[in-house]
């Protein structure tokens, strides 16, 4: 191992403690994927109202990402992440006392702060590792997205143990968040050299957000992360409505998407380090394009006139084929989430916090808007698979944007190379 590739002392401890903390934060952030279902029944909510409830924590977790990323650059990830986790403990606990729809919406906004942990941990972890290892390190940290799957395993079990009372979930989660914050503080470390100098103004840190590359990465991330969050919130209810499963089996099958979508992010970081961010993201988008196209086809019965008279056919995915395609899409989003942040580490190494905060904001807003759009689409059309139709459209936009933007950059790079040769001769 060469000197520039050496991992400094304490880096592994920081990575492990940060990843664990992010996993718990993400589990809390995705709490309504499970508890939202009995709440929907209890309050008699429409699909759109359920979508808004499930997405409300995502809104706050998205909006706070830019300031949290900037504060991480300035003050360090340890103190910011510890403070963030402590701020969520009381709102999580209070969720068990909510009785009205507006109570849940309001508390969900405060609980959603937990989702901002990503924009803290990403720059915090990345700066502990050499550039050649940053993709892998950020991928390992991003595997904390598996907290979504953790909720799908833990929350139904807690509800069953409490005799169907969903209020046990926020109470257990509040205690878990408090313990996690304390453990993180004792096992993490601080390196003042990683902070942006205090003389750097807010305007200086935000200046790079005018770069068109940032907006391009925002679009990609709104698909691979926003789509992941939206489906993680929606799939448990989808299985219940589409296939008639109970909440435990529905959550278990939904975890087949959430788990690889989180855990395999580390592999996505390794692939991005090895093959480059562009090539990795390009193939991720094509895999998602194929999966969402097939998943978007609704259960269909049609009759055709044959020589022997009318004959009825059925086209539709059974739950096992549906789960396999969802599993593949989960793997693709995991790899894509890592490859987008490899773009950021390559292009904005000195301002990872601010840029990752902006890109994370775009991804989080996608995760906020999509569940609401899913609910609206179901209420308007009655077609459950309309959620995949919407996702298919977002992937099409990303593929077109990637094609034209990188083709132009390739042409410009070629022209500069030819000009350089001409000058040399």
pLDDT of residue 113: 93
Q: Could you state, in order of their start, the residue ranges of all structural domains in the chain?
A: 9-190+208-424
- Phi, psi for 201 (deg, rounded to 5): -80, 165
Note whether 325 and 40 are within 8 A (CB).
no
Could you tell me which residues come within 8 angstroms of residue 407 by beta carbon, excluding any fewer than 6 positions away? none
* Tokens found for residue 269: 């970081």
CA 32 to chain centre: 15
* Burial (CB count within 10 angstroms: exposed 0-12, middle 13-18, buried 19+), residue 74: middle
Distance CA 385, CA 326 (A): 12
pLDDT of residue 353: 64
Note whether 284 and 342 are within 8 A (CB).
no
Task: Report the DSSP pairing between strands 300-306 and 309-315.
Answer: antiparallel
The residue assigned the tokens 């056919």 is: 313
If one counts every other C-beta atom within 10 angstroms of the C-beta of residue 306, the result is: 8
Q: Which fold has domain 9-190+208-424?
A: Growth Hormone; Chain: A; (1.20.1250)
Distance CA 395, CA 401 (A): 10
DSSP string covering 244-288, please? ---HHHHHHHHHHHHHHHHHTHHHHHHHHHHH-HHHHHHHHHHHH
Note whether 57 and 164 are within 8 A (CB).
no
If one counts every other C-beta atom within 10 angstroms of the C-beta of residue 406, the result is: 14
Note whether 326 and 206 are within 8 A (CB).
no
CA 401 to chain centre: 21
The helix or strand, by DSSP H or E, that contains position 315, with its residue range, turns out to be strand 309-315
Phi-psi group of 242: left, alpha or beta (phi > 0 → left; psi -120 to 50 → alpha; rest → beta): alpha
* Burial (CB count within 10 angstroms: exposed 0-12, middle 13-18, buried 19+), residue 294: middle
Note whether 254 and 235 are within 8 A (CB).
yes
Going 320 to 325 to 328 to 332, the CA torsion angle's sign is negative
Could you tell me which residues come within 8 angstroms of residue 166 by beta carbon, excluding any fewer than 6 positions away? 35, 38, 39, 159
Could you tell me which residues come within 8 angstroms of residue 291 by beta carbon, excluding any fewer than 6 positions away? 325, 326, 328, 329, 332
pLDDT of residue 413: 45
- Compute the CA torsion angle 192, 126, 69, 341 (nearest 10 deg): 160
Instruction: List the end-to-end C-alpha distance of the chain, in Å, as a whole number.
Output: 40
Q: Which of these, 118, 115, 134, 117, lies nearest to 126 by C-alpha position?
A: 134
Question: Coil, strand, or helix at residue 358?
Answer: helix
The helix or strand, by DSSP H or E, that contains position 88, with its residue range, turns out to be helix 77-94
Per-residue pLDDT of the chain (425 residues; tens, 9 = 90+): 345 567 667 788 889 999 999 999 999 999 999 999 999 999 999 999 999 999 999 889 888 877 887 788 788 888 999 999 999 999 999 999 999 999 999 999 999 999 889 888 888 888 888 877 777 787 788 788 888 889 999 999 999 998 889 999 999 999 999 999 999 999 988 777 766 664 455 565 566 667 778 888 888 888 898 998 899 899 999 999 999 999 889 999 998 888 887 778 778 878 888 888 888 888 999 999 999 999 998 888 889 998 888 999 888 899 999 999 999 999 999 898 888 878 887 777 666 666 776 787 788 888 889 999 999 999 999 999 999 999 999 999 888 888 887 665 544 444 444 455 544 55
């Amino acid at each position: 191992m060469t000197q520039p590739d050496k991992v400094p002392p304490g880096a592994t401890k920081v990575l492990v403690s940060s990843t664990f903390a992010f996993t718990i934060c993400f589990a809390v952030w995705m709490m309504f994927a499970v508890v939202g279902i009995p709440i929907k029944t209890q309050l008699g909510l429409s699909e759109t109202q359920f979508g808004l409830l499930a997405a409300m924590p995502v809104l706050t977790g998205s909006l706070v990402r830019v300031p949290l990323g900037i504060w991480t650059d300035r003050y360090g990830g340890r103190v910011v992440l510890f403070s963030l986790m402590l701020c969520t403990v009381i709102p999580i606990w209070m969720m068990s006392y909510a009785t009205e729809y507006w109570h849940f919406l309001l508390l969900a906004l405060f609980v959603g702060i937990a989702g901002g942990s990503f924009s803290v941990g990403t720059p915090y972890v990345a700066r502990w590792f050499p550039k050649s290892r940053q993709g892998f390190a950020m991928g390992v940290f991003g595997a904390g997205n598996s907290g979504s799957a953790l909720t799908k395993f833990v929350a139904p079990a807690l509800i069953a143990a409490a005799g169907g009372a969903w209020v046990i979930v926020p109470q257990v989660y509040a205690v878990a968040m408090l313990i996690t914050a304390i453990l993180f503080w004792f096992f993490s470390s601080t390196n003042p050299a990683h902070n942006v100098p205090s003389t750097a103004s807010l305007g200086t840190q935000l200046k790079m957000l005018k770069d068109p590359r940032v907006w391009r990465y925002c679009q990609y991330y709104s698909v691979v992360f926003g789509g992941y969050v939206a489906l993680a919130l929606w799939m448990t209810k989808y299985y219940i409505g589409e296939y008639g499963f109970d909440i435990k089996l529905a959550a278990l099958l939904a975890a087949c998407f959430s788990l690889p979508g989180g855990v395999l992010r580390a592999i996505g970081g390794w692939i991005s380090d090895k093959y480059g961010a562009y090539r990795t993201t390009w193939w991720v988008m094509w895999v998602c394009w194929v999966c969402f196209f097939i998943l978007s086809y609704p259960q269909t019965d049609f009759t055709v006139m044959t020589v022997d008279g009318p004959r009825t056919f059925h086209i539709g995915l059974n739950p096992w084929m549906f789960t396999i395609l969802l599993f593949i899409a989960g793997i693709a989003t995991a790899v894509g989430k890592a490859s987008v942040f490899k773009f950021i580490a390559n292009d904005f190494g000195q301002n990872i916090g601010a840029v990752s905060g902006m890109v994370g904001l775009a991804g989080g807003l996608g995760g906020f808007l999509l569940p609401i759009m899913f609910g609206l689409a179901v209420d308007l059309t009655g077609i459950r698979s309309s959620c995949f139709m919407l996702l298919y459209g977002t992937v099409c936009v990303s593929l077109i944007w990637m094609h034209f933007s990188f083709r132009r950059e390739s042409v410009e790079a070629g022209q500069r190379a030819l000009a350089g040769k001409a000058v040399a001769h």
